Amino acid sequence: QACNMTSMLVLPDVCLALIFEYTLSPHDSVNVIRNPSVSRLGLMCVSPSWRNLLCSLVQTMYLTRANLRMHQYHRLESITCLQGTAEVGAHPTILLFLHSFLHKNHSIHHIDLSVCGIDEDGAKIFANELVVSPPTIRTIDLAYNDVGDQGAICIVDAIKSSGLRQLIMRNCGIGSTGACHLGDALPHFCGIQSLDWSFNEIGYIGAVQLGRGIMANTSITHLDLRHCNIG
């Protein structure tokens, strides 16, 4: 076990919580976690005895309701949901925890909720949290969630005046209505640099409106519209 632990420490993005929970006590593992070879510390699911230690060190956290209930994370930069799990989709209330969580953790730059089973209602809940979220968030990934046109409209409206730099909504069941709304909103986006709207059936009308919005936007440097049935 010690040998396996050492080999994991040299990885650029490691999740040590489960390993340490079953091998070392929090007190004994402080020096191991702070080893210079660990460039990032990730958190999946830990017992309460780990709370104080990891809250001061963890940088990447996997979303679970238990983790969201923890205290403030002083160095947290990225939160993500384990792809393929039904944690968010089966329990939409996890999105409600984001309100207080985001306001306690102002260092978060990246939110990854891809492949989480978020539907239109879930997208609306998430959008409501984004409206009042801190301006530090730079990337939001909602890829492979069936948010639909109305969910996409809510997300676009929520981030219109934010400091967001990258929005990923690949294969989200968005049609021409959602694309047209994004096109109308793009002239008012002052910081967005990258948009991934690929694998959505936006069609010719949606593409035309998006094009008009991009022409009036001065910040976008990357746009992905692959497989959008543009014609």
Q: How do residues 28-62 score in pLDDT, each as one tens digit?
A: 445 545 554 444 555 555 555 555 666 666 666 66
| Residue 88: predicted pLDDT | 46
Q: How do residues 73-97 score in pLDDT, each as one tens digit?
A: 667 777 777 554 444 444 455 666 6
Q: How do residues 201-230 score in pLDDT, each as one tens digit?
A: 999 999 999 999 999 998 999 999 999 999
SS in 3 state form for the chain?
A: CHHHHHHHHCCCCEECHHHHHHHCCHHHHHHHHCCCCCCCEEECCCCHHHHHHHHCCCCEEECCHHHHCCCCCCCCCEEECCCCCCHHHHCHHHHHHHHHHHHHCCCCCEEECCCCCCCHHHHHHHHHHHHCCCCCCCEEECCCCCCHHHHHHHHHHHHCCCCCCEEECCCCCCCHHHHHHHHHHHHHCCCCCEEECCCCCCHHHHHHHHHHHHHCCCCCCEEECCCCCCC
Mean per-residue pLDDT over the chain, rounded: 75
Give pTM, 2 decimals.
Answer: 0.75
